[in-house]
Amino acid sequence: MRYAAPTSVAEVVALLGTDPEARVFAGATDLVPQMRAGRPEPGLAVDLKKIDRLMDVSLEVGTWRIGAAAPTGDLTANAALAADLPGLVYAGGLIGSDQIQNRASLGGNLCNASPAADSVPSLVVNDARAVVAGPDGERTVAVLDIPTGPGRTSLAPGEFIVCFEVDRPPARTSDAYLRLIPRTEMDIAVVGAAARITLDGDGNCAGAAIALGAVAPTVVVVPAATEALVGGPITDGVLAAVAAAASETANPIDDKRGTVTYRRQVAGVLAKRAVTEAAGRAGNGGGQ
């Protein structure tokens, strides 16, 4: 296996064009365990952490640009980012241990394409976009459209994610992410739920998005929950409708971490709690 550490996006594109089996990596927190588990080594491993654009986290004209290789530890240490997107930052901080978070990245978490990836539901409810580079130049894709199934993405050969774009939330808007895991730390989500809520001046819900992880081959949004929320106050009855919609939308599997029935029930509970938490933050002045 050859190793390369380019310093520009153009160099990465050129390198990937030389070897159809090449793989990019940011922290290798997925790549190395996969190779140790018996997956074939790539002919060329391309390290993305030497490229400033992929490591940068900055706010430009109302849009956060988060490098696809930026360590999640950098996100949790960024007070301005955490103030704007507390749910997303919290989700990023759940990826592995403190040591892992010095290497792990949102790009890796997305492109590993695990249905239980913690950061992806939060990226989805915040309408995050991925800037993708490849042999035909750059294109911008909704994060929701990147994973296509467990371990699979919509990226074409030779493409990789450069950064994420997330618009700053408007006034009285905030997000939240919750998950259930079998242990207290460093485990894979049985169910994950993200919510983003916007409140109007009277405290009614003016906008909402809910997304679930670990309950389908990819992250799923819950439009019926949004319909139940928008246009009125967030009452116990509305929250019950949110929970029912999340449970109905969930399409999980049975495995050693949970049954289908259990996961559907948990999806409803977590969706309701995530909405409540996001709405509380929005009511306390979330957003710009």
Do 45 and 16 contact (CB within 8 A), yes or no? Answer: no
Instruction: Return the pLDDT at 286.
Output: 82
Domain ranges for the chain, please list them.
Answer: 2-167, 173-283
Q: For 61-84, write each residue's pLDDT tens digit.
A: 999 999 999 999 999 999 999 999
Fold of 2-167: 3.30.465
Q: Which has the closest alpha carbon to 139: 163, 121, 123, 122? A: 163
Mean pLDDT of 121-150: 98
Higher pLDDT, 207 or 100: 207
The b/e string for 123-140 (b: 16+ C-beta within 10 A; e otherwise) is bbbbebbbbbbbeeeeee
Say if residue 35's pLDDT is above 90. Answer: no
Q: Which amino acid appears at position 72 of this protein?
A: T
Residue 184 banded pLDDT, cuts 50, 70, 90? confident
Distances (CA, A) of 55 to 41, 109, 190: 25, 15, 30
Q: Which CATH code fits 173-283?
A: 3.30.390.50
- The yes-or-no answer to whether 2-167 and 173-283 have a common fold is no
